[in-house]
Chains A and B, each alone.
Chain A
């Protein structure tokens, strides 16, 4: 009798665990099917947030979001020079891919610049206005143009179209945050850091 009860209990237990597992499986399949598209979309958004949004197109795509889409579909994560190593790090974490150095074919890491128009040379052709992805250049046909510095992403796209080469890329004049650096470590620590890097 006792043995029988034991048996029943064990079988009930196995059945219960089995049911649980089956239920989880069903749930997973459901989640997978129903939310995949939504997830794909939010995944692209997440990747897009990691990109610097300069819309410079150095990655070879139209802008940041198209590149994000490409990454979601398996493109390399190391094609964004303005984002530099930080962006690569974030993308690698997000897309679960190994770290890679920036692809030199797409440019080098450089401090962010802003475009400035040498206004006396500008002929008012509006070609740069058309090229600007964030509408940071104002001016009309046959009238002098100027760049709104705070809006400029430093994408470089206005430089090529200019027929008179009057656009310079310069260092941003924004110096509101003075900098402290991590201490230059010496002795044992320095060696450790060197060994680590």
Chain B
């Protein structure tokens, strides 16, 4: 028997590696993050920084416990992407322990308990988010937007101070001031308003000029979604993600919400525009559902996966008891992905009677 060779072709390899993919994903998130920061203050940036630190520590801990090479695995930047995705989905300015719990669950349980990168069946960031939503529902549904007196902008020095204090409440001198500050900056997302108002909330709210907060936050959400969409489109242009998943999610959400929406009814369905740009749909469609590890990988499978996620996003938002549903919808999609992959295999070259070959010869190959 001949001595076995160590190396097989190809001799030349592409330049795009896992760590680059992860960095590109982070780069594509930046426009959305900047817009979000502009409207909702420094809390988001602080959360991201915090989440990254926790994520890297948790990853290192998990690798150490499992006796895997730490440095090589940390170089793939996957923990940082999880941290970013997690941090942009939780309310900006969330308390530090909220971030810690979420990240610890995401990295230690959702990722490494299943075998680490590439083995986790569910999106770790969304697992972390859902874990927090179930354990700390109050904290997870109130958005803390610091507003500076006079300027109405959350990104001044005052706003930064408030954000820092929101994230690290132990820095307060007394409990009294904490209560007042926090009270002053809690607000609702457009979806919450829509759901709570009972009628076509956005229209009504606008007409009544209900709140300055609401209006500014509404534009904020729009612009944020557009920025995330642009980031996602750039990922598409770079070939990091394929169009199937985002497009099928967006189309499904748009179609279903258009079907159920009627402007004069009193139902709580919300406009298609609200569903696409007044919520986290763009982040979900371009960044979260496209997480390759837990998504479907066949072309047809990706489309079904997107449709399932789109349907569950809308269904949970409108008929479910949770406010925004990206996390649950994506996890539901993750459940279904392996089945889609198995049954949506593409027709292999030269196989089955539908091929052109059969049309020519009139027989099955």
A contacts B directly in the complex (CB < 8 Å)? yes
Q: Contact check, A192 vs B1: say whether CB atoms are below 8 A apart.
A: no
Q: Contact check, A179 vs B1: say whether CB atoms are below 8 A apart.
A: yes
Q: Could you give, for residues 116-135 of chain A, a 1 whenever the CB lies within 8 Å of some chain B CB and a 0 otherwise?
A: 00000000000000000000
Q: Which residues of A contact B69 (CB under 8 A)?
A: 187-188, 191
CB distance from A179 to the nearest CB of B (A): 5
CB distance from B211 to the nearest CB of A (A): 51
Q: Which residues of A contact B67 (CB under 8 A)?
A: 191, 195
Q: Which residues of A contact B4 (CB under 8 A)?
A: 179-181
With known contacts A187-B72, A188-B69, A188-B72, A180–B5 Cβ distance under 8 A = yes
Does B116 belong to the interface (CB within 8 Å)? yes
User: Complex: how many Å from CA A184 to CA B6?
Assistant: 8
Q: Contact check, B6 vs A175: say whether CB atoms are below 8 A apart.
A: no
User: Complex: how many Å from CA A175 to CA B72?
Assistant: 40
Q: Contact check, B115 vs A175: say whether CB atoms are below 8 A apart.
A: no
Does A178 belong to the interface (CB within 8 Å)? yes
Q: Which residues of B contact A175 (CB under 8 A)?
A: 1-2
Q: Could you give, for residues 31-68 of chain B, a 1 whenever the CB lies within 8 Å of some chain A CB and a 0 otherwise?
A: 00000000000000000000000000000000000111
Q: Which residues of B contact A195 (CB under 8 A)?
A: 66-67
CB distance from A196 to the nearest CB of B (A): 10
User: Complex: how many Å from CA A84 to CA B66?
Assistant: 32
How many pairs of residues, A versus B, come closer than 8 Å at their CB atoms? 31
CB distance from A182 to the nearest CB of B (A): 10
Q: Which residues of B contact A187 (CB under 8 A)?
A: 69, 72-73
Q: Could you give, for residues 106-134 of chain B, a 1 whenever the CB lies within 8 Å of some chain A CB and a 0 otherwise?
A: 00000000011100000000000000000
Q: Which residues of A contact B8 (CB under 8 A)?
A: 180, 183
User: Complex: how many Å from CA A179 to CA B4?
Assistant: 6
Within 8 A of B (CB), among A139-197: 175, 178-181, 183-184, 187-188, 191-192, 195
Q: Which residues of A contact B6 (CB under 8 A)?
A: 183-184
Q: Which residues of A contact B66 (CB under 8 A)?
A: 191, 195
B76 (CB) vs chain A CBs: closest residue: A188
User: Complex: how many Å from CA A180 to CA B6?
Assistant: 8
Q: Contact check, B68 vs A188: say whether CB atoms are below 8 A apart.
A: yes
Within 8 A of A (CB), among B1-41: 1-2, 4-6, 8
From B1, B5, B73, contact of A188 by CB (8 A): B73
B3 (CB) vs chain A CBs: closest residue: A179
Q: Contact check, A179 vs B2: say whether CB atoms are below 8 A apart.
A: yes
User: Complex: how many Å from CA A148 to CA B1?
Assistant: 20
Q: Choose among A175, A183, A191, A195 the residue with the greatest number of B CB atoms under 10 Å from its CB.
A: A191
User: Complex: how many Å from CA A184 to CA B2?
Assistant: 17
CB distance from B294 to the nearest CB of A (A): 19
Q: Contact check, A188 vs B116: say whether CB atoms are below 8 A apart.
A: yes
Q: Contact check, A178 vs B2: say whether CB atoms are below 8 A apart.
A: yes
User: Complex: how many Å from CA A183 to CA B8?
Assistant: 9
Q: Which residues of B contact A183 (CB under 8 A)?
A: 6, 8
CB distance from B198 to the nearest CB of A (A): 41
User: Complex: how many Å from CA A187 to CA B67?
Assistant: 11
Q: Which residues of B contact A184 (CB under 8 A)?
A: 6
User: Complex: how many Å from CA A97 to CA B67?
Assistant: 34
CB distance from A178 to the nearest CB of B (A): 4
User: Complex: how many Å from CA A181 to CA B73?
Assistant: 25
User: Complex: how many Å from CA A184 to CA B5?
Assistant: 10
User: Complex: how many Å from CA A13 to CA B8?
Assistant: 66
- Top 7 nearest A-B pairs (CB, nearest first) are A181-B4, A178-B2, A179-B4, A187-B72, A191-B68, A188-B68, A187-B69
20 contacts between A and B (CB under 8 A): A175-B2, A178-B2, A179-B1, A179-B2, A180-B4, A180-B5, A180-B8, A183-B8, A184-B6, A187-B72, A187-B73, A188-B68, A188-B72, A188-B116, A188-B117, A191-B66, A191-B69, A192-B68, A192-B115, A195-B66
Spell out A's residues near B (CB within 8 Å).
175, 178-181, 183-184, 187-188, 191-192, 195
